[in-house]
């Protein structure tokens, strides 16, 4: 009896402790959930007041010049051209990028540069390193690229942090890109998820997003602005942000106009491009450029995927002819978006910068890797700097460690 009584008492105590532990665990989870909900509740934005929103850290979305002091001096404002490419870097498009930027030098003697919004799958990280060391801007475009617009439209802050945070680690590890130099992101399919997109970017330490097209504000064209106050930009692919996210920049994707008058946020999205003729394509590009150059000099974006070059026999030649022509102008500068934003924060007339940016030192010994993608069992080949991962890098295991 004595031992059976002790056994029963022991079981009762064990059950009591288990119940308390479960209750405590549940309370902790509820508390964490409440904290997460509190973090996601952002203050609603208010109409922008220029008297309160001042450079270098705040800019109203409806400001049509870098500063009101430049009124009447538009021809002295430097014209920025931001060439961006989305998705993976591989052997084929890397060769195209080298040819495009070959010999391009800005009027201040600094090398011309573009911005590469990189997705993870099929990316050659050694070639990303080469672009980085050549002075180009490396930016984020997610790990998975998602399963379509629904995935990104409904993405919460945690999902976006997971996608882009993992890619940040991959670029730092496999391409030896300094994470502090990665400042921007672009959502796949340009599908933002309202406040979540921009809050996640801010938490990751990024300074700008370039996923938001505008059709309404292209003549005069829209300049970049911050989300301290309510944006006046038209919401083409909603939901769009309504919260105040101080100091975070939006680089609006000012749309082009195709030959039938339709707007297109990216060059390869233009439904009615000109005929496949170098001169026809060149003239079309000049028409879109002059809307900025002869207007308020808002940055001129050339947003595309390298696959566009394969759609027509003369597309690459026309693109090259166009940028070579612009390179003869004494006031046109080809820079990455983050470099252009440096100017927007501290605008001047004439030469935009005092010095050229230092080229990064990030030596890379390219190695070929044969690894397994654990989520599907697929065999994958990838090129990285210095050392292969144990398995194919992916969400929740961005360094490809053997878990």
CATH code of 73-345, in short, is 3.20.20.370
pLDDT at 265 over 60: yes
365-371 long-range contacts, Cβ below 8 Å, gap at least 24? 366/126, 367/126, 371/400
Question: 64 pLDDT band (50/70/90 cuts)?
Answer: very high
The residues spanned by each domain of the chain are: 73-345
Q: What is the mean pLDDT of residues 90-104?
A: 98
Query: Residue 41: its pLDDT value, please?
Result: 86
For the stretch 277-335, pLDDT in tens is: 999 999 999 999 999 999 999 999 999 999 999 999 999 999 999 999 999 999 999 99
pLDDT on residue 147? 86
Where residue 17 falls among pLDDT bands split at 50, 70, 90? very low
**How far are the Cα atoms of 13, 62, 84, 182, 331 from residue 108, in angstroms, in the given order?**
78, 30, 21, 24, 9
């Amino acid at each position: 009896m004595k031992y059976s009584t002790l056994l029963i008492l022991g079981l009762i105590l064990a059950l009591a402790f288990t119940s308390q532990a479960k209750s405590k665990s549940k309370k902790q989870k509820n508390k964490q959930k409440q904290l997460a909900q509190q973090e996601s509740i952002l203050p609603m934005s208010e109409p922008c007041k220029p008297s309160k929103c001042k450079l270098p850290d705040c800019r109203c979305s409806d400001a049509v010049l870098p500063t009101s002091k430049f009124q009447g001096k538009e021809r002295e404002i430097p014209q920025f051209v931001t060439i961006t490419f989305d998705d993976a870097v591989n052997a084929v498009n890397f060769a195209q990028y080298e040819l495009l930027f070959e010999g391009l030098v800005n009027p201040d003697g600094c090398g011309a540069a573009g911005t590469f919004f990189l997705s993870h799958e099929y990316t050659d990280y050694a070639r990303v390193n080469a672009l980085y060391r050549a002075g180009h801007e490396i930016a984020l475009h997610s790990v998975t690229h998602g399963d379509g617009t629904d995935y990104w439209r409904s993405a919460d802050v945690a999902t976006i942090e997971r996608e882009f945070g993992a890619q940040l680690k991959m670029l730092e590890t496999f391409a030896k890109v300094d994470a502090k130099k990665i400042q921007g992101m672009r959502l796949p399919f340009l599908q933002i998820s309202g406040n979540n997109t921009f809050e996640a970017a801010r938490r990751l330490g990024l300074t700008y997003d370039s996923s938001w097209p505008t059709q309404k504000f292209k003549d005069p064209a829209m300049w970049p602005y911050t989300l301290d106050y309510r944006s006046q930009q038209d919401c083409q692919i909603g939901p769009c942000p309504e919260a105040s996210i101080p100091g975070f920049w939006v680089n609006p994707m000012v749309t082009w106009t195709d030959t039938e008058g339709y707007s297109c946020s990216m060059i390869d999205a233009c439904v009615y491009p000109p005929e496949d003729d170098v001169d026809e394509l060149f003239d079309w590009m000049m028409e879109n450029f002059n809307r900025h150059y002869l207007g308020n000099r808002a940055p001129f974006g050339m947003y595309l995927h390298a696959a566009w070059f394969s759609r027509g026999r003369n597309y690459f030649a026309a693109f090259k002819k166009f940028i070579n022509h612009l390179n003869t102008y004494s006031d046109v500068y080809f820079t990455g978006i983050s470099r252009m934003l440096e100017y927007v924060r501290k605008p001047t007339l004439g030469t935009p910068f005092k010095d050229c940016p230092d080229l990064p030192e990030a030596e890379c010994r390219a190695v070929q890797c044969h690894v397994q993608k654990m989520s599907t069992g697929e065999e994958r080949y990838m090129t990285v700097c210095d050392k292969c991962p144990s398995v194919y890098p992916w969400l929740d295991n961005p360094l490809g460690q053997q878990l």
